[in-house]
Amino acid sequence: MATITETKLTGTGDRAITTTTLTASDTFEYRPGAGQVLTITNDTAGSLTPNITGDGATTVPVAGYGEVDVSLGYDLASIAAGTTVSIPLDSIRKYLSGTITMTGADAGVATLTGY
């Protein structure tokens, strides 16, 4: 299990971005409102199908719809070989409660940035 380490983009000038080679199950810390972006690059020969799950995510109310179950996590669209995707984490915040685990991205490379 790898921990995806955040690179903070506060201050001035450039900075080295920490990369993490992903395993079968990886974790990271979500900081609400910090402008965090998780980027996954697929350098493998096949597709990756990541799922991001917070162990404290259960259901959330959606106006006009009722309760929506988020406990199974957020499924990203398949990431084709040789491509990169970025996820602004505040956009999926309801899935990111508690300890966060990402599966399905084994051998991909991740970066996590924020302010």
The neighbour count for residue 23, using CB atoms within 10 Å, is 14
Residue 67: domain span = 2-7+19-114
For residue 28, the domain's CATH number is 2.60.290
Structure pTM? Answer: 0.95
Rounded Cα gap, residues 70 and 52, in angstroms: 10
In a domain, 14, yes or no: no
Confidence of residue 29 (pLDDT cuts 50, 70, 90): very high
Q: Classify burial at 29, counting beta carbons within 10 Å of its beta carbon; exposed 0-12, middle 13-18, buried 19 or more.
A: middle
Instruction: Return mean pLDDT, the chain.
Output: 97
Residue 110 phi, psi (nearest 5): -120, 150
In a domain, 60, yes or no: yes
At 40-96, the pLDDT tens digits run: 999 999 999 999 999 999 999 999 999 999 999 999 999 999 999 999 999 999 999
On whether the CB atoms of residues 48 and 77 are closer than 8 A, the answer is no
Average the pLDDT over 92-112 and give the result: 97
| Count of the separate structural domains present in the chain | 1
Confidence of residue 32 (pLDDT cuts 50, 70, 90): very high
